[in-house]
Structure 1
Amino acid sequence: MEVQNARRWAPRGTRAWLAAAAALAIASGVRLLLHPFIGPFLPGSAFCIAASLVEYFFGLAPALTVMLLGLCIADYLFVPPYADITVFDRADLALLISYPLVTLLVIVLIERLRRSQFRAELIASVAQSRYEMLLRHDNERLLARRAVDETHRLLRHLSHHHKTFIFIQALERNALQPADDLKPQSALPRLPNEIAPGPRFADADPDDIARLSKGLWPGSHRVRMKSGDGAAKLTECVCERFTTHAGDFLVLRIGA
C-alpha cells in the first residue's frame, strides 16, 4: 500500500538542527579525547555513529549535514598531517571514499526502515479508525433494531392487555413531545415523569397512583382498586419496562 506521507516521518523545526549540532560537537569531542590513544585510526567512525543516530531520530537532512561536516572535521583534525588542508594523500583519499560510502549506506537503510515503520503506523491508525467507525455503526444498528423490537413488543402488549391497563409512565420527557416541539435539554425545565391514564386508571386509589408515579419500577405492585360494589381492595399489579425509539416507558397493569 502506497502512503504518500511516509517520507514525512521526521520531526520538523529547529530542534532537529540543534540536535544535529550537538551530535556533531559530541562526536568531535569524543574523537579528540580518543585521538591520543588511537591516532589516525578510523578518523570518521565517531561522526558516522553521530550521523546514524541523528538520522534515526531526526531524519535525512540533519544526518547528511552531520556526515558532510564530520568529513571535513575528520580530514582536518584526525588525518595526518593534522590541521593542514594543503596536502592530499592516500589517507585523505581513503577517508573520502570509505567514510561517505559507509555512512550513506547506514543512513539510507535507517531512512527506509523509519519510513516503513511510519507507513505501518499510519496504516494501523487508519485501520483502527475504520474499525471504530464500523463498531459505532453496528452499535447504532443494533440499538435501532432493539428499539424497533421493543416498540413491537409494546404494541403487542397494549393490544393484548388493553383492558387491564392502569397507566403508562414515560421515563423521559421528550418521549411524549412531538418532534416539532423538541428543544435542547438545557432549555427545558425539569418536570416530573409524564403519565398517560389507562382504562382502569379511574378505579385505582389516588394515593396509590401518586405513590407509584414517584417511585414506579418494573415488578409486582399492590394497588387498591375499586370493585363492583365500590369498595377498594388490594390487587396484584405488574409493571413492565419498554425501551423504544421514542424513549423508555413503564406500563402498569392488573396482573393476570
Structure 2
Amino acid sequence: MKVKNSNRWAPRGIRPWLYTAFAVIAAGTVRIMLHPLLGPIMPGTAFLLAAALVQYFFGMTRAIVAMVLGLFIADYLFVPPYGAIATLDQSDLALVISYPLITLVVICLIERLRRAQFRAEFIASVAQSRYEMLLRLDNERALASRAADETHRLLRHLPHYHDDIVLIKAFERRASAVGAAGSAPSEPGIAEGTRFGSLHPEDLVRLSATTHPGSQRVRIGTGGVYRAIVCIAERFTTHAGDFLVFRLEDPA
C-alpha cells in the first residue's frame, strides 16, 4: 500500500520551533557547564544530540536549523580561540566538516525511520478500521439471517395452527425493486393454510394472482358444495420482506 505524504508526519505550528530553540539553548547550557571539564574536546556533541532529538520529534527542517545554530555556537564558544570566528584553523575546519556530516547522517536515518513508522501506523489504522467494518457487517448479516429464519419459521407455523388462514404470500423487496426497474420480478412464495384445499380452484387462482390488500368474496366448501364467504387480504411489512395474509372472515 502506497501512503502519500508520508514525509509530512512532523507536527506543524509555532510550538515545534519553540521546542527547537529550547533544545539548542539547553544543549549550549549543558556544554557551557561541561566546558571547564572538556575544554575544546567534542565541541559539537551536545548540539548533535539536540538536533537528533529535534529530528525525532519535530522533523528534518527544524533539525537542520538546530544543527546550523549549533555549528555557529560551538565554533564561537567552544573552539579556541574562544569567543572569536575571525581566524579559521585546523580545529575550526575539523568541526565544520565532521559535525555537519555526522549530524546529517543521523537525522537522515531518523527521518527514514519516522516515515516508515508513520506509514506502518497509518496502514495499521486503516486495517483496524476495515476489520471493524467487516465485523459490523458480519454481525448485521448474522442478525438479519437469524431474523429471517425466525420469520420463516413463524410463517410455517401460522398456516398450520390457525383455521382462518387460507394462504400467505411472501414478497421479496429486492424482487419488487427489480420489477419496478423494468425486469420481471420473481414469483412470490406461497404458504398454504389449513383452508387452502377448501377453496374453489378458480378462487385459488385469483388469490394467488392478488398482490394488493383488500377483501373479496370467495367460495369455500367440500364435496362440490360451495358457499360464498369474505376473504380479507392484509399486508405486513417486516425486515425479511412483505407478506400478504389471506384469511377468512367467518371460517366456521
| TM surpasses 0.5 | yes
Residue equivalent to 1:135: 135
Secondary structure of the residue aligned to 2:81 is coil
1:17-36 to structure 2, matched below 5 A, reads 17-36=17-36
Contact 1:151 1:245 in 2 (8 A): no
How many residue pairs get aligned? The number is 169
Residue type at the aligned position of 1:56: Y
Match status 1:96 vs 2:90: no
- Give the C-alpha shift of residue 129 in structure 1: 0.9
1:63-102 to structure 2, matched below 5 A, reads 63-102=63-102
Distance 1:245 1:81 in 2: 87
Secondary structure of the residue aligned to 2:5 is helix
Distance 1:29 1:117 in 2: 32
Identity %: 67
Match status 1:14 vs 2:7: no
Residue equivalent to 1:209: none
Report runs of 4+ in structure 1 exceeding 6 Å deviation: none
Per-residue CA distance 1:128-167 (angstroms, 9 max, x = gap): 11111111111221122112111110001101211499xx
Contact 1:44 1:74 in 2 (8 A): yes
**RMSD of aligned alpha carbons:** 1.8
User: What TM-score comes out, normalization by structure 2 length?
Assistant: 0.64
Distance 1:126 1:104 in 2: 33
- Give the C-alpha shift of residue 5 in structure 1: 2.6
Contact 1:28 1:47 in 2 (8 A): yes
Distance 1:115 1:79 in 2: 36
Residue equivalent to 2:189: none
Distance 1:18 1:164 in 2: 83
Residue equivalent to 1:105: 105
Secondary structure of the residue aligned to 1:21 is helix
Residue type at the aligned position of 1:58: F
Secondary structure of the residue aligned to 2:40 is coil
Consecutive unaligned residues in structure 1, runs of 5 or more: 166-243, 247-256
Residue equivalent to 2:198: none
Residue equivalent to 1:161: 161
- Give the C-alpha shift of residue 6 in structure 1: 1.4
Per-residue CA distance 1:205-245 (angstroms, 9 max, x = gap): xxxxxxxxxxxxxxxxxxxxxxxxxxxxxxxxxxxxxxx63
Distance 1:158 1:21 in 2: 80
Distance 2:13 2:63 in 1: 14
Distance 2:18 2:8 in 1: 19
Residue type at the aligned position of 2:54: V
Consecutive unaligned residues in structure 2, runs of 5 or more: 166-237, 241-252
- Give the C-alpha shift of residue 2 in structure 1: 2.0
1:174-213 to structure 2, matched below 5 A, reads none
Residue type at the aligned position of 1:152: H
Distance 1:59 1:107 in 2: 9
Residue equivalent to 1:119: 119
Distance 1:75 1:54 in 2: 20
Distance 1:2 1:40 in 2: 48
Residue type at the aligned position of 1:90: Q
Residue type at the aligned position of 2:3: V
Distance 1:84 1:5 in 2: 43
